[in-house]
Amino acid sequence: MAGRTERADAARNRRAILLAAERLLSGNGQRDVSVEQVAREAGVGKGTVFHRFGSRAGLMRALVDERVGHLADRIEAGPPPLGPGADPAERLVAFLDAVVALATRNIALMSAYERAEEGERQAAPAYQAWHAHVRALIAEARPGLDAELLAHILLGSLHSDLVVHLLRRGEADRLSATLRDLVRTLLTRGAPPAPPGTAAREG
pTM for the model stands at: 0.74
Summary mean pLDDT of the chain: 84
The per-residue pLDDT for 149 is 97
Of 54, 72, 91, the one marking the end of a domain is 54
Convert the pLDDT of each residue in 20-31 to its tens digit.
988 888 765 555
Domain that holds residue 162: 55-203
Convert the pLDDT of each residue in 115-171 to its tens digit.
666 556 677 788 899 999 999 999 999 999 999 999 999 998 888 788 888 998 999
- Residue 181 sits in a domain whose CATH number is 1.10.357
Based on the domain organization, do 61 and 133 belong to the same domain?
Answer: yes
Based on the domain organization, do 87 and 114 belong to the same domain?
Answer: yes
Pairwise pLDDT comparison (65 vs 135), residue with the higher score: 135
- Peptide bond between residue 81 and the one before it cis (omega within 30 degrees of 0): yes
Based on the domain organization, do 4 and 90 belong to the same domain?
Answer: no
Q: Which distant-in-sequence residues (6+ apart) come within 8 Å of 198 by Cβ?
A: 144, 145, 146
- Residue 47 sits in a domain whose CATH number is 1.10.10.60
Based on the domain organization, do 109 and 154 belong to the same domain?
Answer: yes
The terminus-to-terminus CA distance of the chain in angstroms comes to 49
Pairwise pLDDT comparison (121 vs 197), residue with the higher score: 121
Based on the domain organization, do 22 and 113 belong to the same domain?
Answer: no
Based on the domain organization, do 126 and 151 belong to the same domain?
Answer: yes
Based on the domain organization, do 162 and 173 belong to the same domain?
Answer: yes
d(CA 74, CA 66): 14
Report percent pLDDT > 70 for the chain.
Answer: 83
The domain total for the chain is 2
Based on the domain organization, do 49 and 81 belong to the same domain?
Answer: no
